[in-house]
Amino acid sequence: MGKHEFLATIVHLIVLISIKLLFFYDKIAVFSRFIAFLIHKRYITDPEQFNQQRFNCAAQMREPLYLELIY
């Protein structure tokens, strides 16, 4: 493998990783808006219960995102 082929391979990998990260961050933005919509529609007056609900929503959404980033 020559110097130019090696550099081309490195650039190709960087582009693929960048594309994967762009899709990942785009999905985070969509899920964030969806979670905000769910919380807005279900008004919770108790701050402690509200924080617990936010934590539960975030935990449910985080796992699929991590799995997709790995694969």
Residue 31 has pLDDT above 60, yes or no: yes
0.75 surpassed by pTM: no
pLDDT at 27: 63
Mean pLDDT value of segment 19-41: 62
One-character DSSP codes across 15-31: HHHHHHHHHHHHHHHHH
Identify which of 12, 28, 10 has the alpha carbon closest to the alpha carbon of residue 69: 28
Q: Which residue has the higher pLDDT, 15 or 29?
A: 15
pLDDT at 35: 64
pLDDT at 40: 56
